[in-house]
Amino acid sequence: MSAHPKSSHPGTYAILAGVELIQGLGLGEIVKRLHLGNRLREAGYRILAFYLAEMAVRKLHSAAGYSSVAQFAHRKLGLSRQRTSELILIGKKLLELRLLDAALLDGSLAWSKIVELVKVVTPDNQEVWIKHAKGRTVRQLADDVRAARRGELPHDPNDGRGTPHTRFDVNARVGKNTHNGLEAMRDRLQQKLERPVTTAEVLDEYVRICPVDLSPPTFVEERDENGEATGELIEDGRTDELDPNTSGKTSKKMRDQVLNLDGRRCQHCGCMHGLHVHHVVYRSLGGRTVISNLICLCKKCHGLIHDDYLVCQGTREEGFRFFDGEGRCLDDEYGDTPPEHRVPLAAPRKSADADEPAEPYPDPALPPEIVSVGRPDVPDTIDGEWWRRHAELIRFRKGGVIELKPGRPLDISENAEVNAEEGAEGGPSETKRTPLSIEEAFRGLVFPTRIHRLFENTVTAALKKGEPVAHTLLTGPPGTGKTSLAEAIAAAIGTRLHTLTGVNLQDPHTLLSTLAALGPDDVLFVDEVHGASSDVIDVFLGAMEKGEVTLSVREGALSRDVKLKLPPFTLLAATTEEQDLAQPFKDRFGIREVLGFYEFNALVGVVLTIARRKGIEIDEEAASAVAFSARGTPRVAGILLDRAHDVAITAGSDEIQPQHVEEALETLGYDDQGLDPTQQRFMEVLETSVGPISLARIAARLGLSEATVMREVEPWLLERGLVVVTPRGRTLRWLHLLGDRAENEGGNRRAL
């Protein structure tokens, strides 16, 4: 980005990246320059800000046919509403802040710093802020801006401890007398400071001169020279300046030790940015600069502590505890600490009579169960019961790491009550469900005889051996009964069925809670397992082969491996894309079965079974008509049956007749060959093409993705033999046969 002298053209504001920033241009030229600024990325933000502000002031978006500048910028430039509003605001302010704009144009300030500076800079103080910003990083400058009000000068970075002050927005409607009083105080303060003042400064001045003591003294526990609590309360007399008689500041070496022990994250909120090291017992109260008295906090939580909105107590050996300003423990178990058990943080105010002693302060002791709360120890091997008892204390971190926060695990009795209330999802039952007979469990499932016999033998053998059913992988198109088979197996064994979807399994932590809830011989059904991430598949590998999952547990700066033992269970995985699964994962399944499209006679039986289950009367001819158009899947057959039943009810008939099915198919757009509208369009594309056509071109003509065409449209057409896939692309079968015949005849003539 370079700066150039100002052009002599009237209305020219500046020249940036070879583009004159000229006010008063026409809509077409402004749009052209906006597109140029958008292509320049960060270098073009000034161009975008200038002309978007110009559009907002002149309301040119209306002439372009848009209701707002934000809508125009989103449609034409791809900018979000938030970014557009930010650019318009900055563009308007930079018209007033000429020195700040000049610093941007000559490259001495980056755009990211301009974004922060416009929040506080005014024409009167911009020169000071520009000089200050040149020596600060963007993050440091953002902190300086956050600590200042609009119109204020930047604070000296070396005038404090580096903890930000907590600020509040105060909006109130006041009466006439209050307003006049505030304005009178504003006039006096302006005369005193010889500059304009804001309402916030007026309120600060009022609090300063107010005769009422708004900041009652706070009390903390006294510590002896070894850092141990004596049980006595002393007044917290700390000031903003460090007491020179206390121990020295924290050295860089000790600071790094504390950060490493705490895993370089805030021990209150878990943040990993802007970390400070805080003295739990203040140096002004004799707190020593030793590891046991230091804790890692982010700058926001550090500021809350120094503003008395957050209190930290304890030692590194006992565990640290956090309380709010009223003494309530902020751990999850004690969020509603009763008043009699709260930590006394502030002393009661003295009465008006100075000789009258203050009321005695309550005993600061906490209940024993709260005092002893720390981080639970994690054994080398854990099971599902341990996981469920500590579930509320487990935190998941990046990189597959878990850690435990301080707190009390759930009692076994409490866990039993929770499980009783949650039922199948809360944890494994003590007793199995009553298993159904094989005939009753598999009733209503219409599979080939071979598949029926396979799973009947497998389930019967598992029950006799007292073992879970072998892990099973089911492959086939949607709607072919994979979920129904999983439900039947769980019912026959008499265990619970846990259901997950592969696309929702992107993080291993999502799977761990379900694995920990498994009971002996439970069935875990994962639909569309090919959508699970590789990290999740790695967890499955250990769970299937060894019956355990290896976890990485962080304890301070160190991590160690812990094994989560699982009870014997059955993984039933379903997929439509077996080729997308890793070979080691497929090799761990004891049964791999393909559930293809149903034969016509079997599908007629499915239609009759569904109708009988729903109490619908249908004759066999109508059931055959439904099965013919069901694309070989029970799911579609059930949908078509419901639509035909709607037509029959509308016609006043108690039984579905063939004409009802025909009318239902006609309203859904099916043709005489039982093809739905999308399949018909697929066939039309092939009929009108010259030779084979690629999948990408077919998907583009249909307005669908290639995956949708492969998974939902063409499988049934390939099954019926209407379409052929050749090395050159897709084509109709009769055209393919005709082409082969022509090639053979041509070859014979050449041979003659």
CA–CA separation, 103 vs 105, rounded Å?
5
Which residue type does 638 have?
A: G
Q: CA quadruple 644, 649, 654, 658: dihedral positive or negative?
A: negative
Helix (H) or strand (E) holding 46: helix 45-58
* pLDDT above 70 for 725: yes
18: confidence class by pLDDT, cuts 50, 70, 90: low
CA–CA separation, 692 vs 732, rounded Å?
8
Decide the pairing of beta strands 523-527 and 570-575: parallel
pLDDT at position 343, please? 52
Joined tokens for residue 397: 């971190």
Predicted TM-score (pTM) of this structure: 0.49
pLDDT at position 476, please? 82
- Across 177-196, b (16+ Cβ under 10 Å) vs e yields eeeeeeeebbeebeeeeeee
pLDDT at position 376, please? 65
Q: CA quadruple 416, 422, 423, 428: dihedral positive or negative?
A: negative
The predicted model gives 124-142 an average pLDDT of 87
**Which of 58, 635, 681, 720 does the annotation list as catalytic?**
635
Based on the residue annotation, tell me whether 741 is a catalytic residue of this protein.
no
The predicted model gives 375-381 an average pLDDT of 77
Based on the residue annotation, tell me whether 240 is a catalytic residue of this protein.
no
**Phi-psi map region of 632: left, alpha, beta (phi>0 left; psi -120 to 50 alpha):** left
CA 584 to each of CA 515, 545, 587: distance values in angstroms, whole numbers, following the listed order: 20, 11, 5
Q: 10 Å Cβ neighbour count for 232?
A: 10
75: confidence class by pLDDT, cuts 50, 70, 90: confident
The predicted model gives 163-168 an average pLDDT of 62
pLDDT at position 358, please? 37
Q: pLDDT digits over 207-253, tens only?
A: 777 655 544 444 445 555 565 555 444 444 443 333 343 456 788 88
748: confidence class by pLDDT, cuts 50, 70, 90: very low
**Which of 84, 576, 609, 633 does the annotation list as catalytic?**
576
CA–CA separation, 380 vs 377, rounded Å?
10
The predicted model gives 60-69 an average pLDDT of 80
CA 591 to chain centre: 36
Based on the residue annotation, tell me whether 246 is a catalytic residue of this protein.
no
CB 470 within 8 Å of CB 458: yes
Q: Which of 6-20, 58-72, 489-503, 671-685 has the lowest mean pLDDT?
A: 6-20
pLDDT at position 505, please? 85
CA–CA separation, 367 vs 369, rounded Å?
6
The predicted model gives 38-45 an average pLDDT of 77
Q: 10 Å Cβ neighbour count for 126?
A: 21
Q: First CA to last CA across the chain, in angstroms?
A: 76
CA–CA separation, 718 vs 724, rounded Å?
7
Joined tokens for residue 329: 């423990």
Give percent above pLDDT 70 in the chain.
77
The predicted model gives 81-88 an average pLDDT of 86
164: confidence class by pLDDT, cuts 50, 70, 90: low
528: confidence class by pLDDT, cuts 50, 70, 90: confident
CB 498 within 8 Å of CB 511: no
Q: pLDDT digits over 423-460, tens only?
A: 444 444 444 567 777 777 777 676 777 887 888 888 88
* pLDDT above 60 for 5: no
**Which of 265, 283, 288, 482 does the annotation list as catalytic?**
482
pLDDT at position 403, please? 79
Nearest alpha carbon to residue 344 among 433, 251, 416, 236: 236
Q: Map residue 500 onto helix, strand or coil.
A: strand
pLDDT at position 419, please? 45
CA 330 to each of CA 68, 231, 311: distance values in angstroms, whole numbers, following the listed order: 45, 22, 10
Based on the residue annotation, tell me whether 149 is a catalytic residue of this protein.
no
User: Domains (ranges, CATH) in the chain?
Assistant: 12-146 (no CATH), 179-209 (no CATH), 219-346 (no CATH), 438-594 (3.40.50.300), 606-668 (1.10.8.60), 677-751 (1.10.10.10)
CB 393 within 8 Å of CB 409: yes
* pLDDT above 70 for 603: yes
* pLDDT above 70 for 394: yes
Q: Write the DSSP string, 246-292.
A: S--PPPHHHHHHHHHHTTTS-TTT---SSEEEEESS-GGGT---SGG
Ranked by mean pLDDT, which of 147-161, 379-393, 636-650 comes out on top? 636-650
**Which of 316, 527, 554, 731 does the annotation list as catalytic?**
527
Q: Map residue 521 onto helix, strand or coil.
A: coil
Higher pLDDT, 279 or 420: 279
Nearest alpha carbon to residue 305 among 467, 134, 452, 163: 163
pLDDT at position 362, please? 38
**Which of 483, 495, 570, 575 does the annotation list as catalytic?**
483
CA–CA separation, 351 vs 549, rounded Å?
63
CA–CA separation, 543 vs 227, rounded Å?
47
Query: In the Cβ-directed half-sphere of 145, how many Cα atoms lie within 13 Å?
Result: 22
Nearest alpha carbon to residue 105 among 151, 41, 44: 44
CA–CA separation, 615 vs 355, rounded Å?
89
pLDDT at position 305, please? 85
Based on the residue annotation, tell me whether 482 is a catalytic residue of this protein.
yes
318: DSSP letter? T
Q: pLDDT digits over 659-700, tens only?
A: 999 998 988 899 888 888 888 898 888 888 878 888 888 888
To the nearest whole number, what is the mean pLDDT of the chain?
76
pLDDT at position 290, please? 85
